Structure 1
Amino acid sequence: MGRVIKYEGGAMDTATTEKLKAFVRGEMTWSEVEGMTFAEAKAIAQVGCDLAAAGRYEEARILFEGLVEGNPKDSASRAALGTVYQKLGRLEEAIAEYSAALERDPSNPVALVNRGELYLRQGNRQGFTDIANASEADPNGETSAGRRAKALVKAIALVAAEKMKAEQAQARA
């Protein structure tokens, strides 16, 4: 992958100068300035996922932080970074990354189910909505996040049913 920004003395070419100006104006991401392709970003993300799956969260964090820094619009990388932060116990940062992912892609099942779970642990009722939305975003359970969302919906429903039964039994007694 050739990089756009190479300084070898002398004047910078016009195309590079225009890309840098577009970056400064917020019209391009750094990944776009550098010419990173989707395939290259996907390959780096896969390495990050493999590292996380192996429990090497700090290394995965570094890769995903780099991807997010290069392209803050990338919902999948933001959700993956949130997952790594969650595994590292950096829960507020995880929620922030999941929320940023959802600003770009409101139906990202990874961000929805993980943020939903964290919100529920905090006692925040928005967690129910996030988990329901994650289940709707992947209705056939094609992703692990979608399957997890469905399992959480079932578990929540079972707990609610048991609570109702217990309350009814108390009311009769």
Structure 2
Amino acid sequence: MGRIIKHEGAVAMRMQRGAVQGLKAFARGEVTWAEVEGMTFEEAKAIAQVGCDLAAAGRLEEARILFEGLVEGNPKDAAARAALGTVYQKLGKLDDAIAEYSAALEREPDNPVALANRGELYLRRGERQGFTDLANAVEADPHGETAGGRRARALVKAITLVAVEKLKEDSQP
């Protein structure tokens, strides 16, 4: 990522021509800061992978910093928002996690990670929306290709088994 302002001499500063247009587009909400800076999808993906690796190693604060930076640079990135939600969830910041999962789902309604994790949090709160989210996660990932999809499937199965047992108990005299 390059610098936008170039210093020329002690007093005068001149902005690169494209940078001015980029800043104006950013101010109008037409582009993200990541786009102004010229961050590529591959660069964002590489940063996200480091964040995932840090989280997997238990280095949650460092992962949080990386994902917060990615989200700040590109608030439209549903995957980064879902990953930030996961880190918040692991840190016990459950309201922040739900907010990030919800923001991810505004952009990508079938994101299995955001659906599964938000669903689990809603269920813990006793909210029926949790089951809907889990069912949608299973539908979004019917073959269990993601960890979120597999966890959603397992939770739906467990909830169903508990419900069936409850029905059996209630129907016995």
Q: Which residue of 2 aligns with 1:160?
A: 163
Q: Which residue of 2 aligns with 1:6?
A: 5
The offset of 1:11, in angstroms, is 1.8
Distance 2:55 2:5 in 1: 33
Distance 2:163 2:2 in 1: 55
> What letter corresponds to residue 25 of structure 2 in structure 1?
A
Instruction: Give me the TM-score of the superposition, normalised by structure 2.
Output: 0.96
**C-alpha RMSD of the superposition:** 0.8
The offset of 1:100, in angstroms, is 0.1
Distance 2:148 2:7 in 1: 47
The offset of 1:3, in angstroms, is 1.3
- Runs of 4+ in structure 1 displaced over 2 angstroms? none
Q: Is the 8 A contact 2:6 2:16 kept in 1?
A: no
Superposed counterparts of 1:18-167, under 5 Å: 18-167=21-170
Q: Deviations over 1:146-172 (max 9, x none)?
A: 111110110010010011011011xx2
Count residues in correspondence.
169
Q: Deviations over 1:128-149 (max 9, x none)?
A: 1000000000001111111111
The offset of 1:13, in angstroms, is 2.2
Percent sequence identity is 73
What's the secondary structure of 1:7's corresponding residue? Answer: strand
Q: Deviations over 1:110-131 (max 9, x none)?
A: 0000000000000110001000
Structure 1: 5+ residue stretches without partners: none
What's the secondary structure of 2:14's corresponding residue? Answer: coil
Instruction: Give me the TM-score of the superposition, normalised by structure 1.
Output: 0.96
